[in-house]
Structure 1
């Protein structure tokens, strides 16, 4: 599962991770639950239906399938699976009862979404011997609500002591808390995203949910700047003039100001890296895509992700 503060590129990282996992014939399912069709945009394809559809081939030749989960349709599946209400369920949808239920009870919506994801995780392939997918990647809600989103089934299992709802909720929580599951958090080297990442790690641990790696996204290539930059021009204009640069006097001040801003940026990034290192989780860095997060950029990030050690949520 991939979460992160809005604007950190969590959907891009989730998509790249799915590509990275589609290696040597492996089948990976990439799932979104927020209704934004962000996966379709990244892979430059039409809007995803409520059906698993192949959208890409991984760098190692495996397949990437995608699914956009619709809460209403997931509830219809649930009613049919446990109560055999196929026709009655469709009638409820026509009169708006399902939309009403998922709107007034947001916890129910989260139960349906996580339940559908876990159904894909537990599903067997056509021959029944192997799993349908070697890996499932969930583009999860933002860090601020991911612990609540993933932990809702624990609350439901406590409320419904018996029956299919109780057993379904327990089954979902077994998947979400298993050693094969990890919640990776995406951040930037900026104060607010790093603080939200730290809060997210604490909330996930408190909920006993498995915290994976911290992925630092959009990292700019940086050069070291070990010399102090003075507030005033210490002869820079004269040096630029001797080098034959026209307008040296006018340029010296702005150049020094830009250098100081760059030095401050490097200091901020060092401080944020130290904060992330203190979380006790592996930290992985992905480069800033200068041309934007297009399909070629996704494959570039996937190749970088394949170099990381992801064993045990790392």
Structure 2
């Protein structure tokens, strides 16, 4: 099946990044945000799980509830970071809609805020995404500068959301359904409706991060179907930590078609030619490792074919020997740009 071009994503303003836990979702979200920043855009990168993954990724102090500039790019682009906290969002919400003032602090002291954000997960998600919603639509002049309805320029050219893992992503993004049982009318319901409209616009896309392994691929494919069924628009499938093969296709073919005795003899000859003494354990171990690696490559090919057949465009990011430290995020951002992310 032909892959849709990544150019289809250039109109996106909200990029939601999800994936199975452990696949490098936060790293990919950070690299995507940096890639967009390097094109001269002003970008906001948001996390909502309270893990401070972004501060660790960019090696900065823990992010708070105020937007913090992380990168000023030579292109003129700026990358800002924000860690959304449900309690702080609820206090801000109560002040905005109910003018509670100091009463909000009193509610927090008696545990009412913790109770409210724990007992109704749907409401908690509305509060978390509500901050993203506000950032996506915020005009350059600030919250009170929308004027008389004339088109306004947004403060951020793009917002990248490091969303919860796949298993919770659909519930997290389907806020309207989640609050239906606890808020049928009123400000919370209105907020959920507005957020749902934003999430289902063409300018919002959900990117799925995966690895070329059976469980992440299967969970990703299931997640893509669930997201599409919920009316959300799919962005790209990002295959993370792709490793260069140690064997060429010709080597794999030799391992598959040559009998053990011939392989043993060939390997001993080549080791001796390289100045090594081919012992039995050495030869046996090398053959076992070669076959295991060939099986791994075959599995990766199968997983890659399943991903390609899923429909969305596919982006591949390499495994970094040194991790994301020492400029690793910038390397991944460059890879995204080379593959058409704008």
Which of the five TM-score ranges fits, normalised by the shorter chain?
over 0.9
C-alpha RMSD of matched pairs (Å):
1.8
TM norm structure 1: 0.93
Deviation per CA, 1:107-137, whole angstroms, max 9, x where unpaired?
2211110111111111111274410101000
Report the Cα distance in structure 1 between the residues aligned to 2:322 and 2:333, rounded to whole angstroms: 16
1:225 matched to 2:249? The reply is: yes
Report the Cα distance in structure 1 between the residues aligned to 2:272 and 2:48, rounded to whole angstroms: 61
Aligned to 1:80: 95
CA contact (8 A) 2:122 2:178 kept: no
Aligned to 1:293: 324
Aligned to 1:274: 305
Q: Structure 2: which 5+ residue stretches go unaligned?
A: 1-15, 146-151
Report the Cα distance in structure 1 between the residues aligned to 2:36 and 2:232, rounded to whole angstroms: 22
Q: Once structures 1 and 2 are overlaid, which stretch shifts more, 214-223 or 238-247?
A: 238-247
1:187 matched to 2:210? The reply is: yes
CA contact (8 A) 1:237 1:249 kept: no
1:161 offset after TM fit, Å?
4.2
Change (3 A) 1:266 1:62: same
Report the Cα distance in structure 1 between the residues aligned to 2:341 and 2:278, rounded to whole angstroms: 51
How many residues align? The count is 311
CA contact (8 A) 1:21 1:58 kept: no
Report the Cα distance in structure 1 between the residues aligned to 2:259 and 2:73, rounded to whole angstroms: 51
Which is bigger in relative contact order (C-alpha 8 A, separation at least 6)?
2
Q: List 4+ stretches of structure 1 deviating above 3 A.
A: 58-61, 157-162
CA contact (8 A) 1:20 1:59 kept: no
CA contact (8 A) 2:117 2:123 kept: yes
CA contact (8 A) 1:29 1:136 kept: yes
Q: Once structures 1 and 2 are overlaid, which stretch shifts more, 105-114 or 126-135?
A: 126-135
Match of 1:97 among 93, 112, 134: 112
Q: Once structures 1 and 2 are overlaid, which stretch shifts more, 241-250 or 91-100?
A: 241-250
